[in-house]
Every structure is written in C-alpha cells, then in structure tokens.
C-alpha cells in the first residue's frame, strides 16, 4: 500500500517537518525519528517554510520514485534561500537504494539516512552541524535496536536496556494520524526476493524484534492512551523464524508469531490487535485458528496474492499457487465466517496474457475481497523481472487495472451495503477535521464507520447501527 502523509513538528529552538511516503513501516520509522528528535529538543511547527530540518522519508517500490524525490528536493532546497539554517534529510528506501548517487552537486541534501540506520539520526545531525558543507551519510543494514543477529551478550544487554528506556517515552504519532491506533514494527527486512520487488534491497534481511521488547513497546503505547496496535513487518507472519534459528527463542507448537499474538492479547488495556503484511506462504493453520479464539484480533486479514495465475505466480517467485492460497483463505473463513480479506495485486507482470489476467479477475470474484490495492507492474532496478522478456505494454496494463478496480468497486459496495441494519462494535479513532461532530472509527472487519456525536468518542468502543453505506465508508448511529 502506498500513502502520502505530511507532518509538521517543531521545538522552541528547532523545528522539523516530515514528509512520509510509502508503506506503514515508513510511517512507523518517521514516528521513531520524531521521538529521537524530541530528545534533541525539536518540537511542533506547521509548515515546511518554518522548518529548520525537513525529513523526506521516501519509498522506492515503483518507478519514478527517484524522480519524485529529486523534484521535491528542487522545491524544498529553495527554502534555504530564506532560511540558511535549514537542513534537508533524505531517509527511507530511496536513500538506501540510490545511496550517494543522490548527492550530486547542488542536490540540497544535508543528511542521507537508510532505514537500517535510523538510530544514527542524532549523530548525523551533530556531524552536519560541525561540517555544514559536507552531507552526513549513514547507509546499510548494521545493528540497530532489536537487531541482534550478531550481538555479543554484553551488546545485547546494552541495546535492550536502551530500548526499554525508550519505551518509557514513546514517540508521538505523526500529524494526520491518531494516538488511538498505533504501529509497532516487529520485523525489519524480507528474505523472499519476489522477482518484481526492491524491498530486500532497501531493507535487508529479516530481523525480528525480541518478544519482550515488542511487549514493552505495546504496553508503553497503551499506557499513553492507545487502544489498537498494528504490528508491522514486510513478512510479518514469518516473525521470529530468525529468533528460533539463532536460538534466542525455543521452537514451540504454534510458532513464535502465534505465541507473540497470544501474549499481547492478554494485556487488559489492549482493545484490538492487527498486523500487516502477511505472506500467504507463511500463513499457518494455528495462525488461522487463533482468529476464532482471540476476540481482540481484528476480523480482517490482508493477504497479498499478486496474481490469480499460477504461471505468473511462479515467475514472480511467490511460493504459493492460487489453489494453495484459496486453501488458506478457507482456513481463515472456517475459523471466522465473517472474516474480511484484502489483497495486493500487480497487473501486467511480464508475460501476463489475457487468460492470466482473467484468472486474477476470477480469483477476486471467488474470494470477494473487502478491498484491494492494485498497481501496474513497474520494472525495478536490481530485481530479476526487469530482465524478463515479454514486458506488457503500458496501455494494456492500464486497461487491465481499470477492469480490476471496477470489479473490486462493485464487490466493495455489495459488501458494505450488506451491513445496513446490522449492529457493529466500532473503535472510534479520530474526529473529522472537516465536519464538526463527526467521528470516524473501524469495526472488527476494518471497515471505516462514520457517525455523528455531540460528545467526543475517540478511543471508545461503541455499538453502532449501520444505516447507510457507500464504497468508502459505512454510516451509522450510536445505540
Ligand atoms: N511484503 C508484502 C508487500 C510489500 S510491497 C508482500 O509480500 O505482499 C507492497 C506491494 O507493492 C506489493 O504487495 C505489490 O503489490 C506492490 N509492488 C511491489 N513491487 C512492485 C512493482 N515492481 N511493481 C508494481 N507493484 C509492486
Ligand atoms: Fe517484496 Fe516479496 Fe518481500 Fe513482499 S515478500 S517485501 S513482495 S520480496
Ligand atoms: Fe516503499 Fe520501502 Fe515500504 S520501498 S513500500 S517504503 S519498505
């Protein structure tokens, strides 16, 4: 999923402005940087024009990402004319993938920081202050909090103590998000190397955060008023495989991810637990069954398939066939009959025929997703698929994408309209910024629910009678 989120944060002495592109992991990373900067006395501001530090936290998933970064830098560096103190940091996946190539003359970049080096932001700021004419750079996948792949026991103890200390002062959420529902990254990187994807090159190999540290982070957010936690990883349901392999955790019957979820669900303050993104290959039967056992787990599963055609899935190196995927969907629906599903799809992967694309449409009809994110295939440097023959013309991709989205829109409206007249438990997250007295929340199936209320209900879980529905939201009233 790709989103754009703009955030502004200041301090009495220095001000920072965030622009966060890409997936939820980037949002979580921006929040972590914000926490580190608050330790450096940065506070709120509301416009980039007032900032002393602008952080562009970038995404590399599709083409044009470099172009997008360069064109935004072109605008932002002009602000240095009126504010010579302004520093610009480029962070995230473009920083890691493009590296020092981004630093051509007059790029405007003062700090270049990869996602594996976020902890080094304060050091980079100090370095940049001392040597203002040379960019300060930290790239690569070295050790960070929670990365314990090569630690000595003494280093591990030190990192753990620092992380627990950090948990006492959780980073605030970004502007445009809310305190009720927060992200906790439990795994960095990905080992899969799907043939279309840059993530293993920008985020490195899979490294899981130890369960005790995850629990401490979750507890600290809950004690600050959060009610819903979404655990993040690119391959989140393979969480802990590395910890078992390096003997940090003992092997168990249900596996480390199910163990973690069970443990977190026992925290009384937690109202709802979600996680994303799962790989169908690592969806185990015990994980599916857990949804029938733990009422705090949201009844929604984001399970990217990418294509409905086995020929294409194999070329993508996705490790499951459509039939194996559908079997896992059945496990989930056996555990929870009203389980909502969503997915990611790529159209126009090299070699995709009309018949392959039809298999994708058929799969979407069969699963009846609540929503999906579909994109035209975008050839990416370093990945295997960029060299595949039979690249599909852009016009064909665009036509297929429109057909897929039209099919899904119809299904989404049908699913949403079927809720009219039902009562749903809704966790309210935030008031509308445009309509006073209007609040938004999500039900267990992750559907957006809108109601009107004279009292503030953010943070409350309430029963709502659904009275109307459209493609984007359900509308209801409190009962
Ligand atoms: N780890 C997740 C997905 C991470 S990337 C998973 O395995 O499902 C998020 C989504 O971006 C992917 O699911 C895919 O649909 C899309 N994506 C990734 N690389 C892409 C590319 N080269 N072209 C088009 N879409 C791509
Ligand atoms: Fe990319 Fe595949 Fe890893 Fe997902 S599982 S991040 S699509 S390589
Ligand atoms: Fe983009 Fe990096 Fe996320 S490439 S999708 S920000 S992991």
Note whether 132 and 26 are same-domain residues.
Answer: yes
Q: Tell me how far apart the alpha carbons of residues 247 and 232 are, in angstroms, rounded to a whole number.
A: 23
Which residue's structure tokens are 């990187």? Answer: 189
- Domain assignment present for 20: yes
Note whether 32 and 69 are same-domain residues.
Answer: yes
Ligand nearest to the CA of 115: 3
**Band (144; pLDDT cuts 50, 70, 90):** very low
Ligand nearest to the CA of 98: 3
Q: Which atom of ligand 1 is nearest to the CA of 304?
A: 8
Contact 27 CB / ligand 3 (< 6 Å): no
Name residues whose C-beta falls within 8 Å of residue 317's C-beta, 6 or more positions apart in sequence. 192, 193, 194, 195, 384
- Domain assignment present for 248: yes
Contact 194 CB / ligand 2 (< 6 Å): yes
Q: Is the pLDDT of residue 17 over 50?
A: yes
User: What is the number of alpha carbons within 13 Å of residue 379 lying toward its C-beta?
Assistant: 13
Note whether 172 and 237 are same-domain residues.
Answer: yes
Distance 79 CA to ligand 2 centre (A): 37
Q: Which atom of ligand 2 is nearest to the CA of 234?
A: 6
Q: Is the pLDDT of residue 2 over 80?
A: no
| Sheet order of strands, 371-376 included | 300-302, 340-347, 371-376
DSSP state of 119: G
**Band (113; pLDDT cuts 50, 70, 90):** very high
User: 39-48, 242-251, 355-364 — which is least confidently predicted?
Assistant: 39-48
Helix (H) or strand (E) holding 464: strand 461-469
Contact 202 CB / ligand 3 (< 6 Å): yes
**Most confident residue range from 39-43, 201-205, 321-325:** 321-325
Q: What is the DSSP string of 432-454?
A: -SSSTTEEEEEETT--EEEEE-S
Q: Is the pLDDT of residue 163 over 80?
A: no
Note whether 127 and 257 are same-domain residues.
Answer: no
Note whether 47 and 168 are same-domain residues.
Answer: no
User: 127-131, 156-160, 424-428, 467-471 — which is least confidently predicted?
Assistant: 156-160
User: Domain range holding 131?
Assistant: 14-138
CA atoms 356, 361, 364, 366: torsion sign: negative
**Burial of 153: CB neighbours in 10 Å, binned 0-12, 13-18, 19+:** exposed
In order of 261, 286, 326, 340, the CA distances from 335 in angstroms are: 16, 10, 14, 12
**Burial of 403: CB neighbours in 10 Å, binned 0-12, 13-18, 19+:** middle
Contact 61 CB / ligand 3 (< 6 Å): yes
Q: What are phi and psi of 169, to 5 degrees?
A: -125, 75
For the chain, the average pLDDT equals 91
Measure CA 139 to chain center.
21
CATH code of the domain covering residue 131: 3.40.50.12160
Q: Tell me how far apart the alpha carbons of residues 31 and 224 are, in angstroms, rounded to a whole number.
A: 15
- Domain assignment present for 306: no
Pull the structure tokens for residue 375: 């994109």
- Domain assignment present for 450: yes
CATH code of the domain covering residue 282: 3.30.750.210
- Domain assignment present for 322: no
**Band (420; pLDDT cuts 50, 70, 90):** very high
Measure CA 221 to chain center.
17
Which of 76, 110, 138 is where one domain is finished?
138
Distance 4 CA to ligand 2 centre (A): 21
Q: What is the DSSP string of 43-86?
A: E--S-GGG-SEEEEEE--SSTTHHHHHHHHHHHHHTHHHH-TT-
- Domain assignment present for 287: yes
Return the residue whose CA atom lies nearest to atom 3 of ligand 1: 234
Distance 61 CA to ligand 1 centre (A): 7
Q: Is the pLDDT of residue 149 over 70?
A: no
Query: For position 8, what pLDDT does the model report?
Result: 52
Contact 287 CB / ligand 3 (< 6 Å): no
- Domain assignment present for 392: no
Q: Which atom of ligand 3 is nearest to the CA of 24?
A: 3
Distance 200 CA to ligand 2 centre (A): 7
Q: What are phi and psi of 49, to 5 degrees?
A: -65, -25
Q: Is the pLDDT of residue 166 over 50?
A: yes
Q: Is the pLDDT of residue 419 over 90?
A: yes
User: Per-residue pLDDT averaged across 294-322, rounded?
Assistant: 97
Note whether 26 and 78 are same-domain residues.
Answer: yes
Query: For position 10, what pLDDT does the model report?
Result: 44
Note whether 99 and 202 are same-domain residues.
Answer: no
Q: Is the pLDDT of residue 228 over 60?
A: yes
Structural domains counted in the chain: 3
| Residue 435 or 380, more confident | 380
Q: Which atom of ligand 3 is nearest to the CA of 198?
A: 4
CATH code of the domain covering residue 459: 2.40.50.110
Contact 279 CB / ligand 2 (< 6 Å): yes
User: Per-residue pLDDT averaged across 436-454, rounded?
Assistant: 94
Phi-psi region of 84 (alpha: psi -120 to 50; beta: other; left: phi over 0): alpha
Distance 383 CA to ligand 1 centre (A): 12
Note whether 185 and 125 are same-domain residues.
Answer: no
Pocket probe for ligand 2: among 194, 306, 312, the residue whose CB has the most ligand atoms within 8 Å is: 194
Distance 211 CA to ligand 3 centre (A): 24
Which of 138, 157, 182 is where one domain is finished?
138
Pocket probe for ligand 1: among 280, 282, 304, the residue whose CB has the most ligand atoms within 8 Å is: 304
Contact 193 CB / ligand 2 (< 6 Å): yes
Asked if 28 and 230 count as a contact pair (C-beta separation under 8 A), the reply is no
**Band (1; pLDDT cuts 50, 70, 90):** very low
- Domain assignment present for 69: yes
Which of 298, 315, 332 is where one domain is finished?
298
Whether the ω angle into residue 277 lies within 30 degrees of 0, i.e. cis, is yes
Note whether 120 and 177 are same-domain residues.
Answer: no
Note whether 286 and 153 are same-domain residues.
Answer: yes
Query: For position 35, what pLDDT does the model report?
Result: 87
Q: Is the pLDDT of residue 7 over 60?
A: no
Distance 8 CA to ligand 1 centre (A): 28
Q: Tell me how far apart the alpha carbons of residues 23 and 51 are, in angstroms, rounded to a whole number.
A: 24
Model confidence, pTM: 0.93
Distance 478 CA to ligand 3 centre (A): 38
Which residue's structure tokens are 């109202």? Answer: 271
Note whether 128 and 191 are same-domain residues.
Answer: no
Distance 305 CA to ligand 1 centre (A): 10
In order of 34, 67, 316, 324, 341, the CA distances from 305 in angstroms are: 34, 29, 10, 11, 11
Note whether 115 and 255 are same-domain residues.
Answer: no
Which residue's structure tokens are 């399970």? Answer: 303
Q: What percent of the chain has pLDDT over 90?
A: 79
């Amino acid at each position: 999923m790709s989103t754009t989120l703009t955030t502004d944060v200041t301090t009495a002495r220095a001000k920072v402005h965030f622009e966060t592109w890409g997936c939820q992991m980037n949002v979580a990373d921006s929040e972590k940087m914000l926490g580190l900067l608050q330790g450096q006395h940065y506070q709120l501001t509301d416009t980039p024009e007032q900032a002393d530090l602008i952080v562009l936290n970038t995404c590399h998933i599709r083409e044009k990402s470099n172009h997008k970064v360069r064109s935004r830098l072109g605008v932002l560096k002009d602000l240095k004319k009126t504010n010579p103190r302004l520093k610009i940091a480029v962070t995230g996946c473009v920083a890691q993938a493009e590296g020092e190539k981004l630093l051509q003359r007059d790029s405007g970049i003062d700090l270049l920081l990869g996602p594996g080096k976020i902890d080094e932001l304060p050091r980079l700021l100090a370095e940049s202050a001392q040597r203002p004419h040379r960019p300060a750079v930290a790239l690569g996948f070295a050790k960070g909090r929670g990365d314990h792949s090569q630690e000595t026991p003494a280093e591990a103890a030190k990192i753990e103590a620092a992380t627990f200390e950090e948990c006492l002062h959780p980073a605030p959420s970004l502007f445009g998000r809310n305190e009720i529902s927060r992200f906790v990254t439990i795994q960095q990187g990905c080992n899969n190397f799907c043939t279309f994807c840059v993530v293993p090159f920008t985020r490195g190999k899979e490294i899981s955060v130890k369960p005790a540290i995850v629990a401490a982070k979750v507890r600290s957010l809950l004690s600050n008023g959060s009610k819903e936690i979404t655990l993040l990883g690119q391959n989140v349901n393979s969480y802990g495989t590395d910890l078992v392999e390096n003997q940090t955790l003992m092997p168990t019957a249900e596996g480390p991810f199910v163990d973690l979820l069970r443990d977190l669900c026992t925290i009384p303050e937690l109202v709802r637990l979600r996680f994303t993104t799962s790989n169908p290959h690592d969806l185990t039967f015990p994980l599916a069954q857990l949804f029938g056992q733990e009422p705090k787990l949201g009844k929604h599963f984001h399970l990217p398939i990418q294509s409905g055609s086995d020929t294409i899935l194999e070329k993508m190196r996705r490790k499951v066939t459509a039939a194996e995927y559908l079997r896992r969907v059945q496990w989930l629906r056996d555990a929870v009959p009203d389980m909502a599903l969503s997915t990611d799809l790529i159209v126009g992967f090299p070699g995709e025929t009309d018949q392959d694309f039809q298999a994708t449409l058929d799969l979407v009809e069969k699963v009846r997703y609540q929503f999906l994110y579909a994109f035209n295939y975008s050839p990416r440097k370093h990945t295997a698929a960029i060299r595949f023959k039979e690249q599909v013309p852009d016009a064909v991709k665009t036509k297929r994408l429109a057909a897929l989205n039209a099919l899904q829109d119809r299904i989404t409206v049908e699913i949403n309209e079927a809720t009219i007249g039902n009562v749903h438990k809704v966790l309210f997250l935030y008031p509308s910024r445009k309509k006073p007295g209007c609040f938004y929340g999500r039900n267990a199936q992750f559907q957006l629910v809108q109601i009107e209320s004279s009292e503030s209900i953010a943070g409350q879980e309430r029963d709502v009678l659904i009275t109307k529905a459209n493609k984007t939201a359900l509308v209801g009233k409190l009962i």
